[in-house]
Amino acid sequence: MKLNRRQILASLGFGAALTATGWPRRVHSSPIAWPSPLRVGDRLIGVAPGTWVDPDTLQGDRGWQRLYQDWGFDLVIPEQSLGQWTYFSASDADRAALLRQAWRDPGADGVVCIAGGWGAARSLEAGFAPGASPRWCVGFSDNCALLLAQLAAGGRGGIHGWKDERVRQLLMGEPVGPLTGQPLRGGVAEGELVVTNLTVGTHLIGTPWMPSLDGTILVLEDVGEAPYRIDRMLTQWRTAGLLQNLAGIGLGHFRWIPEDVLPGDLSLAEVLEDRLGDLGIPIVQGLPVGHGRPNKALPLGRRARLDAQAGTLSLLS
């Protein structure tokens, strides 16, 4: 994800097992717990794990607090979330401390990431650890680092989303309809969802914050990355051994600057076919997920069904 930070903001008990990277991977020995569905009046905390908050995202009918108020929730945005330190909302240590406080606040039911840009992974490096306790966490783009880290720790409640009605439905435990795209490789697969921005996920490879992908349905999206850079990142995922045991793949929005594509470059369709087509698993492309409109919310860790005959992705549980 070649980030223009302001454009990105505006566009919008477990045992350890060693992996091939040498990092401990969580092995779940008990049933996975999910946070309880929210009810009208429940409280959430707005956090900025990376880049400082663009004031435009706080104003008007689609401002964060107005939106969540319309949904029936009380979204509290601490003053610390609205600061600025270089292009971050605060120093790494202060952002990590605020995340710990918000994540463990007994009077709140979860967190909402109100800015993207860059810096969530630095908050993890600075010591924030989501842990295995269930907790609602809404975010996408750079905040995929938090969602993936939560999943890697064994926690549930992460929602890859922004300001979409499906976020409210998922938070309140309401059913949501299937997402529709176009078949790329036929077949039907079931597995837990892992959803991430491709660039953010790529930069977590080899860290303790990348969850196991074995048997999962992996959904990828990106923005600002030309097809040759998508090729480079998918090659990294292949050579790191992360794509070999997937159940299926969903592909969301991919957008880039036209000037980044030169005569003779592979098209995105050619890159996806070449890097993913030989995996022998169902693949659906063109899903309404990620940087673009619509950006439909998906919950990480929920079981889903990818029907690459019909071109649909549906939640099962």
How do residues 241-295 score in pLDDT, each as one tens digit?
Answer: 999 999 999 999 998 777 777 777 889 999 999 999 999 999 999 999 999 999 9
> Confidence class of residue 35 from pLDDT cuts 50, 70 and 90?
very high
Q: For residues 176-186, b (16+ Cβ closer than 10 Å) or e, as one string? A: beebbbebbbe
Give the strands of the sheet with 158-160, arranged side by side. 74-76, 43-47, 110-113, 136-139, 158-160, 298-299
pLDDT mean over 10-27: 36
Can you state the angle between helices 268-276 and 227-239, rounded to 10 degrees?
A: 10
> Confidence class of residue 66 from pLDDT cuts 50, 70 and 90?
very high
pLDDT mean over 181-205: 97
Give the per-residue pLDDT at 16. Answer: 34
With a cut of 80, say whether residue 29 has pLDDT above it.
Answer: no
> Confidence class of residue 25 from pLDDT cuts 50, 70 and 90?
very low
Cβ–Cβ under 8 Å, residues 156 and 33: yes
- Whether residue 253 lies in the annotated active site: no
- Whether residue 291 lies in the annotated active site: yes
- Whether residue 221 lies in the annotated active site: yes
Give the per-residue pLDDT at 263. Answer: 75
Which member of 81, 89, 141, 212 is catalytic?
Answer: 141
pLDDT mean over 75-85: 95
> Confidence class of residue 31 from pLDDT cuts 50, 70 and 90?
low
> Confidence class of residue 89 from pLDDT cuts 50, 70 and 90?
very high
Give the per-residue pLDDT at 27. Answer: 38
Which member of 81, 212, 221, 225 is catalytic?
Answer: 221
Cβ–Cβ under 8 Å, residues 155 and 289: no
Q: What is the dihedral of CA 295, 44, 130, 178, to 10 degrees?
A: -30
Helix (H) / strand (E) containing 1: none
Give the per-residue pLDDT at 32. Answer: 79
Give the per-residue pLDDT at 257. Answer: 74
Structure tokens at 195: 């959803």
With a cut of 90, say whether residue 119 has pLDDT above it.
Answer: yes
